[in-house]
Structure 1
Amino acid sequence: MEDIRYPEHLVFGLDIGTRSIVGTVGYKENKNGFKVVAQYVKEHETRAMLDGQIHDIPKVAETIAFIKKELEKEINRPLTEVCIAAAGRVLKTITVEAEYEFQNETIITDEHVHSLDLIGVEKAYDEIRELTKNENTNFYCVGYSVITYYLNEYAITNLEGHKANKIATKLLATFLPDEVIDSLYTAVERAGLVVANLTLEPIAAITVAIPEAYRMLNIALVDVGAGTSDICITKDGSIIAYGMIPFAGDEITETIAQKYLVDFQTAEKMKQSCIKKKSITYKDIMGLSHKVMSTEINETVNATVRNITQNIADKIIELNGDKSVSAVFVVGGGGKMTGFISSLAEYLNLPNERVALRGEEVLKEIEFMQPKVKKDSLLVTPIGICLNYYDQKNNFIFVQVNGERVKLYDNSRLTVADAVIGVGMSNELLFPRRGKAINFTLDGEKRLVRGELGEAAIVKCNDKVVGISSPIEQNDKIEVIESTVGKDATYEVLQLPEYQNNTIEFIFNSQKIVCPKFVKANEELVSEYYQIKDEDAIEILDYYTLEQVLSFMDIPYHDSIRVNNTLAHLEDKIYANFTVQYEIDNQAFQKVDVESISYEQDFAYEEGSYTYDDYNQNNSNQTEATNQNVLQEDIQQSKNDTKQDVNQQSLKQIEEIVVVVNGQAVLMNTKKQYILVDVLDFYHFDMSVSGGNSLVIRVNGEDADFTTPVKDKDNIELFWK
């Protein structure tokens, strides 16, 4: 052939099988068509491979080199790169589910989807390491297939562009051990070639045998080779499972060898001949010639064929969720044996027409430029290896991560994150990590305050700062400075939205008294500055006991006190707007000459009780005692100030601020400190009627919530989206 007959770039594929090696050279002419310009098949002279695994690397390399030389003669140009496929004999697949929950409803981007996939692959790595922890080998992820995505727990084809609070995926990750990859690479490199693409044999076969349009159906593909029968199952447009059984054509050959006392090579020729001829002549190891009918050979191997097909059927049912598939396509030479198709259909409980040998009908778009090439099922996998090159250029590359050399399966989409996972670094070390959260209950309801986010990991590739999704190439040097953990959550009682209305009013001798609400943490009274701790049980009390009211008023108890016109005891509870009637003894109590008594909680005190008896108790802890003394002095001073000039005291504790809400200036003048929810007291915004899917709250351009502190001149945005 001359170069003018085909483009400059040709794809060279090798199907390195147990019985033979098939070399194919060709090019893709259009979207579907493929032209084979040259093909050469050579059987192993010895049993250099068993069950799809290379046992004699020099012998296999010698055969590859011979095929390379013959093809170079045919196309009149050198071949330097080759596409290969690994058998499924040692394939391990892991199906995992992964999810990611957002703090707020978020529009899903490609970055989110990629990160979700990585979480799934990392889980698959963890499972494969656990399953193989007693094996002295490393496993590499050679690809993954997404079975389905979930948007807020509903299955969906494509997540990108949708809004969600939670996304999830179910994916199938595929792994191969180190020795399988290394032996294939070594044999190819010894033959003077470089691996341009690596795929799996079942993936190569399915590329040709089951078009994308068919993969919506629950179909099994079985590639019956010499040493293994590789299985691939599709459903709902995805590959949902891979599998393998170590029974195939060689078992049939060995049965013939034992029955007719011939060597393996002679038995292999007899097996192939009985498919085409009615009778076969052969010589046994004693040198005697014999003639046998093909029907007799078929009867001889019938039990073996049924054993193989039963194992294949059992594996298909196992991989398909303990049920049969809708149809089966068979490729490979082993499937040509008489009775193979009907037996497999029987064990799968399928009609015979639902199990078919795929050959010429799936090679319609394949043009062979060599004369006298017959299209059959033997060529499906070799052609698929070449076609897979165009789908994804896969190979193994080496990179360094923090000085450690890592081997990665290059699926043309390798990123920094893949390398980090490959070296065993946890995925969470790349992303900002939150500090410890606070889980507590408020009046019996569960509450959560999240910790702050830390800093994302700093990632450098070849001394240049990059993102975790940045692509990587052979020999890249990657440095990862782990992400940091943010500050642990802190939360005070006064930040509770329910505590914003933090006073109770009573009517004492026809006068209004404003008292602070009591708060309990784990049944102990605490102040509004109490730092809530994990697992705390917080209660906001909406009542005072009579004893606490009298303690607040600093007056003694006597037995004629009435609450709501009923004689009361010290332990009786007094709720908002209850009336207290107290007969005043001038010697015990000086009447307060004000219209109302007000008490504002604006003291820098720590944990403790609001009652004087509790605060006056001796405490062995010096710090707590100091805090209690400060509290007692502050409360006493507050009550003295209140009695002298309650109005003046109130004014001192009010700060006027002006904020801008949705472009409108708003004056706030009722408190010393404000949080965002206080804005609603001065700016009308109807929260009872939803105006959209989500409420947007921002302070100075930053996302906020109703507990965010508000200061003078802050710019606030509040609207439905």
Structure 2
Amino acid sequence: MQKEKQKKQNTAAGETPENYVFALDIGTRSVIGVVGVMDGEMLRISAVETVEHPKRAMIDGQIEDIEQVSRIAGLAKSRLEKRLGYPLRHVCVAAAGRALRTQKASYEMELKPSQSIDEEMICRLEAGAIEAAEQQFAPETGEENQPVFYLVGYSVVQYYLDDYPISNLLEHRGQRISVEVIATFLPREVVDSLYTTMHKTGLEVASLTLEPIAAMNAAIPQKLRLLNLALVDIGAGTSDIAISKDGGVVGYTMATIAGDEITEAIMKKYLVDFTTAEDIKMKMSGESEISFKDILGLEHTVTPEEVKQETEPVKRILCKEICDRITEANGGAPSAVFLVGGGSKLPGLCECVSEYLKLPASRVAIGGNNFLMHVSSSDEDVTGPEFATPLGIAVSAALNLINDSFSIRLNGSRAKLFRSGKLTILDVLLMNGYTYNQLISRSGQSIIIDLNGEKKVLYGGHPSAARILLNGAESSITALIKAGDEIVFEPAVPGENANPSLEDVVHFQAPCKVLFNGMEVEIGTRATVNGQPAEPEQPLCARDKVRTYSIGTLRELLKFLGEDEEQAFIINGKPVKPDTALCKGDRIEYAKTDAEAQPAKPEPQPEAKPAQETDAEPPENKVHITLNHAPLSLKPKPDKTPYRLIDMLNLVDIDLSKPQGNIVLHVNGQDAAYLQTLADGDYVDIYWEKRQ
């Protein structure tokens, strides 16, 4: 008692009461501010202010002009402060239900043999479906450009176990499980614009909910939500719809027409401006006669019945659109419908809705002012349906009917929570913009290549698992949260995608050179990628075809040079077998036959004649060829051996250690081997065939 008495004394002295609630309903047509103070279990309304937008600053309930909306919200705040005598620092707001995005999606998981399904697996399954639903909003954008959505809520349409529908997966076993969900999201820009607007007004957001939930809290008692009910908040530009069932709000949708349709019909019929048409609409349900001036200055007097008759076609279009959206979101007609918002006061609306939904007239009614059960006497008249949303925001925050007022903290900041009922850590994370990929650790993407005709998988890197602390202790995504909980979340870090190079899959032997019949030849490991010569550092891509060949033995060298593998050879003067390994600097030569090994008999020499001192080789002893279209005359070799194709490599700009494509070797237009002998008059072509 002493504490309550002290609070009242402080309030009387102009100090801000500790338990005040300030709610702002930022609508298309106006901003409504409500301030109340908790008095036991009741919210005592202290002041209400409504400020009209002077020009269009809101489009379908979403803030378009932050500067103007913050100015109007600031005007409502200053008027309230002037009346109350104390400053307002914290505000409760609601995001427009018409900004919600709803999407159906499914997700499937494979099970290990004999694996029992637990709650965490079901959570991961549902999180995967939610992620799939969100991705459908922007399927073509890159990961870094993906828009961020806050999860508002979701409902499971159906679970499947090995393709068979099942109502509960827990503790079952099978090969795979899947789920189909309907998920509702709020774009981040809607939330950000609300926070930015309030910040510019000098206010800190104390709680954030959705307008349909706030209106539901105001109009429909919690105990009634076990029934299948629909709440329709008819505003100026759109009509927000919320569906309750089994004790909670399970679906949201909207109709794109609302009260402005009626106003515009009156403008066209009677040639009046928007303000006059609004006034005529408001008088349809009371006065015996309605007088007004048209845009030409002419006086008119009509009866409410005449206006009702003129607007009847538009009213029926509005009702049909609302009923179609209710039926679509609910899968049929609900048990009852509650209408709130300024547009709900339109005469005959309840009867028209009941007709389209084929419900008894008694099952469609103006919102039941449930909030008055929690509002103490006040000088302010807040009984109209247009106050359902602002008072719903205030009452919801005051009575902790929205989870955001629980003050859950996530990574040191206040978490955004949009719906009521039991919430898990998974719900909190998804409501605050975290994605499935941040919750579930994934290995880096692997690639498959074709290595010498066989499939080879090159695996991505290992991931780092997500870490969750609840009040300082390790926890899981299935843990339930309560008021005051502190959550620390470190997102999973995916493993790096496979990014191999050729040397990661091929063991390259260090290159070196040997002498083959006096000719230098480089040996070692060589490889091609998709038919093109490749260096060890060349990156590999999925489905690349890699072929390798090694020149490490005599047999492999002979095959590479196109030589007869059965021919006898000596290495460093010693006979060897074909599979002998080669080493740097080895001298490889043809082994001499028995006939070649016998010493040649000396032939009689003709009498020597004085030789003429000239370096010119007789033309008949030279070998004349055409190399790459250029004539070339070659002196005989000192060892009298014939010229071979490989001898020409030193005469062209070809470096075999740095491949620039496929090497082309032609003699007289035909493919040739390196050791093919050349004859006088041969045409030789050696060049790189460039890679495509």
Displacement after TM superposition at 1:222 (Å)? 0.8
- Aligned-partner Cα distance in 2 for 1:211–1:170: 30
- Aligned-partner Cα distance in 2 for 1:483–1:119: 19
What code does the residue aligned with 2:167 have? Answer: A
- Aligned-partner Cα distance in 2 for 1:407–1:169: 31
Q: What residue number does 2:404 align with?
A: 393
Query: Does structure 1 conserve the Cα–Cα contact (< 8 Å) formed by 2:261 and 2:314?
Result: yes
Displacement after TM superposition at 1:415 (Å)? 6.5
- Look up the SS of the partner of 1:334 in the other structure: helix
Query: Does structure 2 conserve the Cα–Cα contact (< 8 Å) formed by 1:233 and 1:320?
Result: yes
Kindly report which structure 2 residues correspond to 1:160-559, keeping only aligned pairs within 5 A, or say none. 163-165=171-173, 171-321=181-331, 323-360=332-369, 362-389=370-397, 390=400, 391-393=402-404, 409-410=416-417, 418=429, 422=433, 426=437, 429-430=440-441, 457-459=464-466, 469=477, 478=490, 480-482=492-494
Q: Which runs of 5+ in 2 are unaligned?
A: 1-7, 448-460, 498-692
- Aligned-partner Cα distance in 1 for 2:428–2:446: 23
Q: Deviations over 1:188-221 (max 9, x none)?
A: 2221112232222112211222333322322211
Q: Deviations over 1:248-281 (max 9, x none)?
A: 1111111112222222122112211222322222
Displacement after TM superposition at 1:17 (Å)? 0.9
Query: Does structure 2 conserve the Cα–Cα contact (< 8 Å) formed by 1:263 and 1:285?
Result: yes
Q: What residue number does 1:543 align with?
A: none
Q: Deviations over 1:338-373 (max 9, x none)?
A: 12111111111222111111144x233132453142
Q: 1:7 to 1:182 in 2, by over 3 A?
A: closer
Displacement after TM superposition at 1:226 (Å)? 0.8
Displacement after TM superposition at 1:416 (Å)? 11
Q: Deviations over 1:228-251 (max 9, x none)?
A: 101112233343321111211111
Q: 1:378 to 1:417 in 2, by over 3 A?
A: closer
Q: Deviations over 1:445-476 (max 9, x none)?
A: xxxxxxxxx977344699x9976749999998
Q: Deviations over 1:148-196 (max 9, x none)?
A: 786976436xx9xx64447876544222334433333332222111223
- Look up the SS of the partner of 2:295 in the other structure: coil
Q: 1:277 to 1:169 in 2, by over 3 A?
A: farther
- Aligned-partner Cα distance in 2 for 1:80–1:7: 11
What code does the residue aligned with 1:481 have? Answer: V
Query: Does structure 2 conserve the Cα–Cα contact (< 8 Å) formed by 1:97 and 1:170?
Result: yes
Matched, 1:46 2:55: yes
What code does the residue aligned with 2:429 have? Answer: D
TM-score (norm 2): 0.56
Q: 1:106 to 1:383 in 2, by over 3 A?
A: farther
- Aligned-partner Cα distance in 2 for 1:15–1:421: 22
Tell me the matched-pair count.
458
What code does the residue aligned with 1:252 have? Answer: I
Kindly report which structure 2 residues correspond to 1:638-649, keeping only aligned pairs within 5 A, or say none. none
- Aligned-partner Cα distance in 1 for 2:227–2:148: 31
Displacement after TM superposition at 1:433 (Å)? 11
- Aligned-partner Cα distance in 2 for 1:300–1:253: 11
Displacement after TM superposition at 1:48 (Å)? 2.6
Displacement after TM superposition at 1:393 (Å)? 1.1
Larger RCO, structures 1/2 (Cα 8 Å, 6+ apart): 2
Displacement after TM superposition at 1:337 (Å)? 0.6
What code does the residue aligned with 2:131 have? Answer: E
TM-score (norm 1): 0.54
% identical equivalent positions: 36
Q: Deviations over 1:639-698 (max 9, x none)?
A: xxxxxxxxxxxxxxxxxxxxxxxxxxxxxxxxxxxxxxxxxxxxxxxxxxxxxxxxxxxx
Q: 1:303 to 1:290 in 2, by over 3 A?
A: same
- Aligned-partner Cα distance in 2 for 1:484–1:476: 25
Q: What residue number does 1:631 align with?
A: none
- Aligned-partner Cα distance in 2 for 1:234–1:52: 22
Q: What residue number does 2:67 align with?
A: 58
- Aligned-partner Cα distance in 1 for 2:308–2:194: 35
Displacement after TM superposition at 1:225 (Å)? 0.7
- Aligned-partner Cα distance in 2 for 1:313–1:338: 17
- Look up the SS of the partner of 1:393 in the other structure: helix
- Look up the SS of the partner of 1:176 in the other structure: strand
- Aligned-partner Cα distance in 2 for 1:131–1:320: 31
Query: Does structure 2 conserve the Cα–Cα contact (< 8 Å) formed by 1:2 and 1:75?
Result: no
Q: Deviations over 1:476-514 (max 9, x none)?
A: 8946433699xxxxxxxxxxxxxxxxxxxxxxxxxxxxx
Q: 1:213 to 1:164 in 2, by over 3 A?
A: farther
Displacement after TM superposition at 1:16 (Å)? 0.7
- Aligned-partner Cα distance in 1 for 2:252–2:55: 30
Q: What residue number does 2:686 align with?
A: none
- Aligned-partner Cα distance in 1 for 2:186–2:306: 41
Q: What residue number does 1:70 align with?
A: 79
What code does the residue aligned with 2:230 have? Answer: A
Query: Does structure 2 conserve the Cα–Cα contact (< 8 Å) formed by 1:231 and 1:243?
Result: yes
Q: 1:50 to 1:296 in 2, by over 3 A?
A: farther
- Aligned-partner Cα distance in 1 for 2:167–2:39: 37
Displacement after TM superposition at 1:397 (Å)? 12
- Aligned-partner Cα distance in 1 for 2:425–2:439: 18
Displacement after TM superposition at 1:413 (Å)? 6.5
Q: 1:40 to 1:416 in 2, by over 3 A?
A: closer
- Look up the SS of the partner of 1:94 in the other structure: strand
Query: Does structure 2 conserve the Cα–Cα contact (< 8 Å) formed by 1:461 and 1:477?
Result: yes
What code does the residue aligned with 2:34 have? Answer: T
Q: 1:247 to 1:2 in 2, by over 3 A?
A: farther
Q: 1:185 to 1:413 in 2, by over 3 A?
A: farther
- Look up the SS of the partner of 1:325 in the other structure: coil
Q: 1:14 to 1:348 in 2, by over 3 A?
A: same
- Aligned-partner Cα distance in 2 for 1:87–1:417: 20
Displacement after TM superposition at 1:300 (Å)? 1.8
Q: What residue number does 2:153 align with?
A: 144
Kindly report which structure 2 residues correspond to 1:586-625, keeping only aligned pairs within 5 A, or say none. none
- Aligned-partner Cα distance in 2 for 1:341–1:357: 8
Q: Deviations over 1:23-56 (max 9, x none)?
A: 112355567x443332222222223324323333
The structure having more radius of gyration, on CA atoms, is: 2
Query: Does structure 1 conserve the Cα–Cα contact (< 8 Å) formed by 2:468 and 2:475?
Result: no
Query: Does structure 1 conserve the Cα–Cα contact (< 8 Å) formed by 2:24 and 2:32?
Result: yes
What code does the residue aligned with 2:202 have? Answer: G
Q: What residue number does 2:128 align with?
A: 119
Q: Deviations over 1:611-652 (max 9, x none)?
A: xxxxxxxxxxxxxxxxxxxxxxxxxxxxxxxxxxxxxxxxxx
- Aligned-partner Cα distance in 1 for 2:433–2:380: 47
Q: 2:167 aligns with which of 145, 155, 159?
A: 155
Displacement after TM superposition at 1:68 (Å)? 0.8
- Look up the SS of the partner of 2:372 in the other structure: coil
Displacement after TM superposition at 1:384 (Å)? 1.9
- Aligned-partner Cα distance in 2 for 1:11–1:324: 37
Q: CA RMSD in A?
A: 4.7
- Look up the SS of the partner of 1:130 in the other structure: coil
